[in-house]
Structure 1
Amino acid sequence: MLDIRRLHMLKTVAARGSITAAAQSLALTAGAVSQQLATLRHDVGVDLLRPDGRTVALTEAGQVLLEHADRIFAAVEEAECAIAAAKGTVGATATLAALPSTVARIVAPALTALGTHHPQLTVTCLVTDQAQLRELTLGTVDVVLGQRYHHLPDTAPRGIDISPLLDDPLLVVTAADQAGEGPIALRDLATHSLAVPPPATDCGQAILRACHQAGFTPTTRYITADIAAQLTLARAGLATALVPRTAIDPATPGIRTAPIADHSIQRLLFAATRHTEAANPTTAAVIAALLAAARQDLTTDHPPV
C-alpha cells in the first residue's frame, strides 16, 4: 500500500526542484527524504524522478503517480474538513501567509479579533513578498492573503478558492509641503522623480503600464519594493511614490497623499484557501476576520487627500 507521507515528499520534491530544497521545507534531512523516496520507488517498481540539469523532475510515471496523489490529498482534506464541519468548532492552529503591506491595517486587526473570539486558535503568520499560492497547494499554509493587480489575469492554481477582500488603489505620496489640493492626474507626474518597485514586480509593471497609458515613461530615480523606504524618500522631498492605500499608516507624519485622477492603479486583495466541498470552520474563521478587518479599514480615517 502506498504511504501518503512518501507521496507528499514526492510532490514537495517536484515543486521545490531538488531533494535538498524539499528536505529544508519539510524540516528533514536530505538523506531521510532520499531514503523515503527510494522506498516509494521500490513500492511502485519504476523510477519516479530524473535529473534535470541542477534540479530533478518527475518521470512520466512520477507525473502519473502525482496526479493520483493529488486526488488522494484532496480526499484526505475533504474528510478532515467534513469532520471539522460536523464538530462545528474552530481548531487549534492555522497558518496564514500575508504580504508585508497588509500587516498593519488588515492582518494585525484580524489576528486581534481572532484572539478575542477564538482564544483557542493559534495563528502562525508568514510575512513575505513572495507569492504563496504554491505553498497553499503544498499544504504548508492554510490561508494566503494575496494580491492581484487589475491589469493581470487571474492565475490562481486549480483547486484554490479566492475570496475577494477589497480593492486597494495606489495613492500619490509626496512631502507634506510639496503637494497641492485634490486628486493628481497621472500625467502630471511625468516631471517627477519617482520611487517605485522594480519593474519585474506586479506593482512595478502596473505603474509602468499606467504611465505609458498616460503618455509618458516615468523617471524612476529610486527603485525599491520596500514601502517604508518609498515613504521615507517621499517625506524627504526626494521623490514621489505610488503606494497602496492600505500600506500607509494614516498617522504617518510629513507626507501628503492624493488619489490618482485618471488611469487608476488598483490591486485586489484576496484570501485564498484550498478548495473543499465541506467548509473548514478554522479557515472560514480566519477569512471572516480578514474580511471584517478589510471592511473596517474602509471606514477608518485615511491620510489627507
Structure 2
Amino acid sequence: MLDVRRLYMLKTVAARGSITAAAHSLELTAGAVSQQLAALRNDVGVDLLRPDGRTVALTEAGRVLLEHADRILAAMEEAESAVAAVKGAVGATATLAALPSTVARIVAPALTALGSCHPQLAVTCLITDQAQLRELSLGTVHVVLGQRYHQLPDATPRGIDVSPLLDDPLLVVTAADQGDGRPVMLQDLAAHDLAVPPPTTDCGQAVLQGCRRAGFTPTPRYVTADIAAQLTLARAGLATALVPRTAIDPTTPGIRTAPIADHPIQRLLFAATRHTENANPTTTAVIAALHTAARSTTQPAVLM
C-alpha cells in the first residue's frame, strides 16, 4: 500500500523543483526526503524523478502518480473537513498567509477579533508576497489573503476557492503641501518623478499597463516594492507614489492622497482556501474575520 506521506513528499518536490527545497519546506533533511522517495520508487517499481539541470522533474510515471496523489490528498482533506463540520467547533490552530500591505488595516484587526471570539484558536501568520496560492495548494497554509490586479489575467489554480474581500484602488500619494486631494488624471503623472514597484511584480505590471492606457510609458525615478519607502519619498516631496489604499495608514502625517480619475488601477483582495465540499469551521471563522476587517477599510483615506 502506498504511503500517503511519501506521496505528499513527491508533490512537494515537484512543486519546489528540488529535493533540497522540498526538504527545507518540510523541515527535514535532504537525505531523509531522498530516502522516502527511494522507498516510494521501490513501492511502484519505476523511476518517478529525473535530473533536469540543477533541479529535478517528474518522469511520465511520476506525473501519473502525482495526478492520483492529488486526488488522494484532496480526499483526505475532504474527510477531515467533513468530520470538522460535524463537530461544528472552531479548531485550535490555523495558518494564514497574507501580503505585507494588508497587515495594518485587515490582518491585525482580524486576528484581534479572532482572539476575542475564539480564544482557543492560535493563528500562525506568514507575511509574504511570494507564491501564496502555491503554498495553499501544497497545504502549508490554510487561508491566503491574496491579491489580483484587474488589469492582469486571473491565475488562480484549480481546486482553490476565492472569496472576494474588497476592491482596493491605488491612490496617488504626494507630500501634504502638493496637490489638493482632488482626483488626478493618470496621464498628468507623465511629468512626475514616480516611485513605483518593479515591473516584475503584479503591482508594477498593473501600473505599467495603466500608464500605457493613459498614453505614456512611465520612466520611474525610484523603483521599489517597499511601500514604506514609497511613502517616505512622497512625504519628502521627492516622488509621487501609487499605493493601494489599504496599505496607507490613515494617521500617517505629511502626505496627501488622491484617487485616479481616468484610468483607475485597482486590485481585488481576496481570501482563498483549498476547495472542499464541507466547510471547515476553522477556516470559515478566519475568513469571516477577514471580511469584517475588510469592510471597515472602505472609507476614503484623505490625509493631510
TM-score (norm 1): 0.98
3-state SS of 1:12 partner: helix
Query: 1:242 aligns to what?
Result: 242
Contact 1:105 1:293 in 2 (8 A): yes
> Following TM superposition, by how much is the alpha carbon of 1:169 offset from its aligned partner in structure 2, in angstroms?
0.2
Structure 2: gaps (5+ residues): none
Distance 2:209 2:31 in 1: 47
1:304 — aligned with what?
A: 303
**Is 1:289 matched up with 2:289?**
yes
Name the counterpart of 1:133: 133
Are 2:257 and 2:301, in contact at CA under 8 Å, matched by a contact in 1? no
- Aligned residues: CA RMSD: 1.0
1:242-266 deviations in Å (ceiling 9; x for gaps)? 0000000000000000001110000
1:14 match: 14
Q: Contact 2:252–2:303 (CA<8 Å) still a contact in 1?
A: no
Q: What SS is found at the alignment partner of 1:251?
A: coil
Task: Assess, with a 3 A threshold, how the Cα gap between structure 1 residues 181 and 166 changes in structure 2: closer, same or farther.
Answer: closer
For structure 1, the 5+ residue unaligned runs are none
The amino acid across from 2:223 in the alignment is I
- 1:195-234 residue pairs with structure 2 within 5 A? 195-234=195-234
Letter in 2 for 1:45: G
Structure 2 CA distance for aligned equivalents of residues 127 and 303 of structure 1: 27
3-state SS, counterpart of residue 302 of structure 2: coil
Structure 2 residue matching 1:220: 3-state secondary structure: coil
Q: Indicate the residue corresponding to 2:94 in structure 1.
A: 94
How many residues in Structure 1 have an aligned counterpart in Structure 2?
A: 304
SS at match of 1:90: coil
Rounded to whole Å, the distance in 1 between the matches of 2:303 and 2:236 is 18
Deviation at 1:274, TM superposition (A): 0.1
Cα distance in 1 between the residues matched to 2:115 and 2:142: 17
Report the equivalent of 2:145: 145
Find out whether 1:191 has 2:191 as its counterpart.
yes
Q: Percent identity?
A: 82
Whether the 8 Å contact between 1:258 and 1:304 is mirrored in structure 2 is no
State the distance in 2 between where 1:248 and 1:281 align: 32
Are residue 47 (structure 1) and residue 34 (structure 2) matched?
no
Secondary structure at 2:296 match in 1: helix
1:122 aligns with 2:122: yes
AA paired with 1:270?
F
> How much does 1:181 deviate?
4.0
Distance in 1, Cα, partners of 2:298 & 2:259: 15
Alpha-carbon distance between aligned partners in 1 of 2:223 and 2:89, rounded to the nearest angstrom: 47
Instruction: Check conservation: 1:183, 1:258, Cα contact below 8 A.
Output: yes
On the 8 A contact 2:184/2:258 being kept in 1, the answer is yes
2:235 partner amino acid: R
Question: How many angstroms apart in 1 are the aligned matches of 2:200 and 2:284?
Answer: 33
